[in-house]
A and B are shown apart, each in its own frame.
Chain A
Amino acid sequence: MTFLQFINLQLKSKIRSVSLGRDLVAGIFLLIIGLFLLGYVILISVSLPFIIRSFLGVDDAIGFLNSYILFFFATEFLYRFFLQKLPVAELQHYLHLPIPRWKIVHFLLQRSFISLLNIIAILLLVPFTIIEVAGHYGALSAISWLGTIVLISWSVHWVTLVFKRGIGDRVIGYLVMLTVYLLSFGAQYYGWYSIGEWVKPFFDLAIHSPFPMGLSMMLLAGSYYGAYQYYRKRAYEEDIEEKGSNFVENSQIDFLSRFGTAGAFADMEWKLILRHKKSRSYLYISALFLLYALLFYPTFEIAESSFDQHFSLFIGLFITGSFLFNYGQFNLSWNSANFDYYLIQKNGIESYIQGKAILFVAISLICYLLSIPYIYYGWPIFFIHTAAFIFNIGVSIHLLTLISFWKPKPMDINKGAMFNYEGLGAAQFLMVLPMIGIPYIIYLPFALSVGYEVGLAVLSIIGLVGIIYFKKITRFLIGRLYKNRHEISSSFRQEL
């Protein structure tokens, strides 16, 4: 078996996926967004020398960039952490075949390298390199300088792979991410450029000597080898599956029992969320967003700055809705394994949809209540969060449920860890766009023309209408699901 044959199989698995429609739309959107971003990247890169010279008034553009390059790598690490997918799930299809284990691991790792993320550094810096570095120091210097940066950027790819698999889904992983965030933000706010200055000589040297490029080459080789060793050691079936102490704790939520069957289903769902790595990580993310606001609010002048007010809506939507956005978009997929069970229950579908709604409202409410202390930074924050909360539970919940009916992907939640990573791809974040975009489309016209209070009021009213007609909307959703039940249930039975 060759690498090309392996890639060919990978392509087939994508093309023939039962959720192709959904994947395709997501893919096209991602491509459009990607092209936009790349366009920006190119725009920035072309104007980079100009920006540095004219706006920042720095003469030594290269030196300036060199002192900032560390933050570029930090940012890269952050987005790679969220966007990069881990090549583990494929393992089990090949392990028993007469292909050496090292070869399979190399295939999987090298496949993961084929990604748009790995050309960003090149695109971002090529124009600058041609204009500035090549212009002043010649082609060889340009190659050496750009090469050094690109090779380090590629090393970040391998480091991220190990990091994400190692501690990425534990609390500590999120803490590390938060620290990196805080450090780079802090550096921007308070001007600790000393770390950047500290590594600057290395990149300065790259212009005059091939030595740094050689060193980054070694770094790349070393990080690939490290990633290989790491994945090679873990290339066992038991590492793909979620293991760990399957301690059973009683996590019954008593108040749910008031809602009858729907409550029982909600309670079941809550247990699923707690006992599965991926869904648990969504809870962590929600907590993270609660803290995330701390980065912004202290610097906001919420009473005066209208930009700050508009931006706070974004934060409010995220705080009260991040769990919804993450979990809700695969609403049905979570139950793909026992979807038939709901179908054969009396009022099963009805209670199923209601149970989900109850749970989402409860989680959203908890996040909202926890965010109330932000009043400390100004009353407007309270109103903004309230409007965001009302809109989320009045409109977004239903919208997400509706979206989740469309070509749902079966998810084998018993095979924990491998799907644990699947949910953290780029497509996952895509769904966030309409969930943020729609409220803004409603809010902005009023907020810009009259005042942000009016924008919030309109949002709240629409949300309230959604809450008042909660039953009616749920009935509509139930009807939709009921109509598509055969198609959905058969798609859940496919795909290994």
Chain B
Amino acid sequence: MITIESLKKVYDFTTVLEIPELIIPQSQCFGLVGNNGAGKTTLLRLILDLIRASAGEVFIEGENVTKVENWKKVTGAYLDDHMLLGYLTPDEYFEVLRKVHKMSDADLKLHNERFESFFNDEILGQKKYIRDLSKGNKKRVGISAAFFGNPQLVLLDEPFESLDPSSQIRLKKIVEKEKEEKSTTFMISSHDLDHVTEVCERIVLLEKGVIKQDITGTREDKFEVLNTYFSG
């Protein structure tokens, strides 16, 4: 699904990310873990072609992300608040997305049903602009926006952060269901080792822009490796 070749990002002579090679196969749930400044968000942004790479290439389904844009149709992402349109209500925003993704009304209804328990009656039908929503509710809008148009690849930056416990659990269920039913590929960065080891089968540990570990195995194994690493 994603192929990364000798990718490098340099800001003012400091290398913030350097990945010689990374391949993420279809339907893998790929976790990104690392302390602050490890380069997690930079990597996600590079994959989405939101910033320019200093060197190297990213391919989504064999397409160089800087050259073609077809991959945008199969990719959904939510990295931060700025991806939303704060002056719209959630319903209006979803309506805009429906048009952008060329979905029918029925498609939108289906989508909203999928996220019904995740929204918990706090998102849809609200007479509030997105900018007035709480942090957690903004995140819920953004995450569900990333699933518009049945993407085959979903990138989420710190999705569990600022969500309430029930939403965290519901989000994990959604991710698992998507993976099972549509073999969607996920790339999730997180500071929450508990959640990320549960939901992701493969976890890459970044530190100062370099891959330190590439971990697979049972949940307990992964958790153990990460725990030792971060305690040390």
Contacts and interface: CB of A to CB of B under 8 A. Distances in A.
Interface stretch (B76-84, B176-184, B190-198, B221-229): B76-84
A199 B79 CA distance: 53
A496 B82 contact: yes
A13 to B, nearest CB: 4
A494 interface: yes
A4 to B, nearest CB: 11
Given A236-B50, A236-B51, A17 B87 contact: yes
Contacts of A99: 72, 100
Contacts of A54: none
A92 to B, nearest CB: 5
B196 to A, nearest CB: 22
Interface in A231-272: 236-238, 243-246
A9 B96 CA distance: 9
B11 interface: yes
A346 interface: no
B204 to A, nearest CB: 22
Interface string B92-121: 100011011100000000000000000000
Contacts of A238: 50-52
A5 interface: yes
B99 A96 contact: no
B173 interface: no
Contacts of A17: 87
Given A9-B85, A496-B84, A496-B131, A97 B100 contact: yes
Counting chain A CB atoms within 10 Å of each CB, the highest count among B81, B83, B84, B92 belongs to B83
Interface string A105-118: 00000000000000
A117 B89 CA distance: 33
A96 B97 CA distance: 11
Contacts of A12: 87-88, 92
A495 interface: yes
Contact of A494 (B77, B132, B149): B132
Contact of A95 (B50, B129, B132): B50
Interface in B114-160: 129-132, 149
B77 A13 contact: no
Contact of B11 (A92, A243, A496): A243
Contacts of A93: 82-85
Nearest to A243: B11
A98 B50 contact: no
Interface residues of B, number: 33
Contacts of B170: none
B55 to A, nearest CB: 15
A172 interface: no
A16 interface: yes
Contacts of A191: none
Contacts, number: 72
B83 to A, nearest CB: 6
A16 B129 contact: yes
Contacts of B172: none
B83 A92 contact: yes
B50 A496 contact: no
A96 B77 contact: yes
Interface string A37-56: 00000000000000000000
Contacts of A96: 48, 50, 72, 77, 79, 83
A450 interface: no
Nearest to B101: A98
B86 A495 contact: yes
Nearest to A98: B72
B73 interface: yes
A494 B84 CA distance: 13
A101 interface: yes
B45 A237 contact: yes
Given A98-B72, A236-B51, A243-B11, A494 B85 contact: no
A277 to B, nearest CB: 17
B72 A92 contact: no
Contact of B86 (A237, A245, A496): A496
Nearest to A233: B52
Interface string A16-27: 110000000000
Nearest to A234: B52
Contacts of B50: 95-96, 236-238
B161 interface: no
Nearest to A490: B132
Contacts of B83: 92-93, 96
B220 interface: no
A99 B100 CA distance: 7
Contacts of A98: 69, 72-73, 75, 100-101, 149
A57 interface: no
Nearest to A103: B69
A1 interface: yes
A92 B86 CA distance: 12
Contact of B87 (A1, A13, A92, A236): A13
Contacts of B52: 236, 238
16 contacts: A5-B99, A9-B88, A16-B129, A92-B82, A93-B84, A95-B48, A98-B149, A99-B72, A236-B49, A237-B45, A237-B50, A238-B52, A244-B12, A494-B131, A495-B131, A496-B86
10 A-B pairs closest in CB distance: A496-B86, A98-B72, A16-B87, A237-B50, A238-B51, A13-B87, A92-B82, A98-B73, A100-B69, A494-B131
Given A93-B82, A494-B86, A496-B81, 17 more contacts: A1-B96, A5-B96, A9-B88, A12-B92, A92-B82, A92-B83, A96-B48, A97-B72, A98-B69, A98-B149, A100-B69, A236-B51, A236-B52, A237-B51, A244-B12, A494-B132, A495-B131
